[in-house]
Structure 1
Amino acid sequence: MTIRRATLDDQAAMRDVCLRTGHGGQDATGSWSDDGLRPDAFLEPYVRYPASRCWVVDDGAGTAAAARPAAGPGLLHDAGTLPDRMLDDASAPLPAHLHVDMLPELQRRGHGRRLMRALGESLAADGVPGVHLRVGDGNQVAVASCRRLGFDERHDDDGYLMTIASQRLAAL
């Protein structure tokens, strides 16, 4: 398994992983009226703007996992998303909004830790203070993974807000 920066050549595989993990970590195929909508909304802005912030786990047969942060509210806005809905008082100090998709067959094998370490090193080098992500109550696999990696957490009506400094990710 290789951890590397994503390229546009990874786009089709990343779209597949996004769909196959898009329903609380489970397969989201058929859950929306068009299976292309989920990756259009939750992948494309990150892959295309800027692609250099996306990292993948390449299993040799194609991309099997992806981490993609948007570094700050300006980038989120420019990427076509709504930063005011992604930032609140708890996440504002760590403004990079993170999405992570990992196929179940790669989970619990250390690939996520290696992926997060590479991402943390990159973000820290770029001066990005840290990341935050939202995890729904139904995705306890992701909650447990974030806890093992040392994310701080806050639970509210929207699920879990998980945060971590880039330096902490880089030290994994």
Structure 2
Amino acid sequence: MRLRPFATCDLPGMSRVCLLTGDAGADATPVYRDPDLLGHVYATPYPVADPGLTWVVTDGSGAVVGYVVGTADSQGFARWQEQHWWPALRERLPRPEDVDHATRDHELLRVVHDGATYDPAVTDRYPAHLHIDLLPAAQGRGLGRALITTLRDALRERGVPGLHLGVSGGNTGAIAFYERVGFTVVERHPWGLTLGTDLRGS
């Protein structure tokens, strides 16, 4: 498997990986009617906004089996989304009028229409954030650590002081992994944890 910088042709593969890992690390295909929704929110806007902070892992056939995406400035990214990302999706995807208990599409559609927000109490210290996903076949090979190290090094080169992420409380394997690569708990929520890491050290 190969880790390399993002290319535009990777976007569909990234969206697919996002869906296949989108239910606390498990396949979220049964959870969403629209298979592209998770990617629209958590994967594809990042390389469109700043392609220099996305890397992918591909298998022997060249298919995307994992990625890390990030932004150096979460608050600035939210403003970019309002100007350049959400408007087209809002025109194409209507705001849900009711909760569909059979799926979770309504949760992501509300993010599309209300926009993403980031807690200034977190971003003041950890202005960057990331999302990382690896298919099971790519796990246990050191690729997750390599992806995060690559992103951290790029953020340090830009002078970014800290990096954070959110993780579902049910994804215990991911939480243990993030702790091993240097993240600590910043905030606790009903849905899970915000973890952060200081980038000012060596």
> What's the TM-score once normalised by structure 1's chain length?
0.88
CA distance in 2, matches of 1:60, 1:167: 36
The answer on whether the counterparts of 2:2 and 2:58 sit within 8 Å (CA) in structure 1 is yes
User: Which structure 2 segments of 5+ residues have no match?
Assistant: 87-114
Cα 1:99/1:134, change in 2 over 3 Å: same
Bigger radius of gyration? 2
CA distance in 2, matches of 1:37, 1:158: 19
Residue number in structure 1 paired with 2:105: none
Q: 1:87-166 counterparts in 2 under 5 A?
A: 87-154=119-186, 155-166=188-199
CA distance in 2, matches of 1:11, 1:116: 19
SS at match of 2:193: strand
1:50 paired to 2:50:
yes
User: Which structure 1 segments of 5+ residues have no match?
Assistant: none
Shift of residue 47 of structure 1? 2.2
Cα 1:32/1:122, change in 2 over 3 Å: same
The answer on whether the counterparts of 2:14 and 2:44 sit within 8 Å (CA) in structure 1 is no
CA distance in 1, matches of 2:193, 2:34: 27
CA distance in 1, matches of 2:68, 2:159: 18
SS at match of 1:94: coil
The answer on whether the counterparts of 1:91 and 1:163 sit within 8 Å (CA) in structure 2 is no
* Number of residue equivalences: 168
User: Share of identical aligned residues, percent?
Assistant: 33
Letter in 2 for 1:162: L
Deviates more, 1:41-50 or 1:159-168: 159-168
CA distance in 2, matches of 1:39, 1:59: 20
Letter in 2 for 1:23: D
* RMSD across aligned positions (CA): 1.8
CA distance in 2, matches of 1:55, 1:87: 26
Q: 1:77-88 counterparts in 2 under 5 A?
A: 77-80=79-82, 82=115, 85-88=117-120
The answer on whether the counterparts of 1:3 and 1:118 sit within 8 Å (CA) in structure 2 is no
Residue number in structure 1 paired with 2:59: 59
The answer on whether the counterparts of 1:19 and 1:29 sit within 8 Å (CA) in structure 2 is yes
Residue number in structure 2 paired with 1:71: 72
Shift of residue 75 of structure 1? 2.1
